[in-house]
Amino acid sequence: MPLPAAVVVSVLPLQVPHAPSIPLLFLYALGIRGNPSTLAATLLPLSVAEEFPSAAAMAQAMATQCERDDSGIVAGSRDDDSRARGAAGGWQMLNRYTVYNQGLWKNVLALGLHDSRVMSVVQTVWNVTAESRKILARQGERK
């Protein structure tokens, strides 16, 4: 069978709240990646995704992970300067997750995604990220 000489590809301009997360969203929303549960492991630290399905445990694990990864603190350090650096570092990492995950959630809402499995994972990830911020804020208030 001969190949066609020309292919017409329609281009549709698309305005979205968060352009950087669109490729990942399309991978799952269009079914190119079939298992939406792997999306959570892409959007959260692995130690957090391992706590699924408990959103509360996931949020606590995320706050702890962000604080630990960005702090540069030796495990077991108890001095006030180390704790202050840990809280500040935790916010830096958590802010990166917040911007991306909130942007992805806004895209889901703006595009009216109908895949309930993908939508549920993204909503859970956003809720976990938001709750992690509250946990880290409460920890900062105590210090």
pTM confidence score = 0.79
106 to 5, 10, 109, 128, 135: CA distances (angstroms): 40, 25, 5, 15, 22
Q: Which of 58, 76, 63, 79 is CA-nearest to residue 124?
A: 58
Cis peptide preceding 45, ω within 30 of 0: no
pLDDT tens for the 143 residues of the chain, in order: 777 788 787 888 889 999 999 999 999 999 999 888 899 999 999 999 999 889 999 999 999 998 887 655 433 334 444 444 445 567 888 999 999 999 999 999 999 999 999 999 999 999 999 999 999 999 878 76
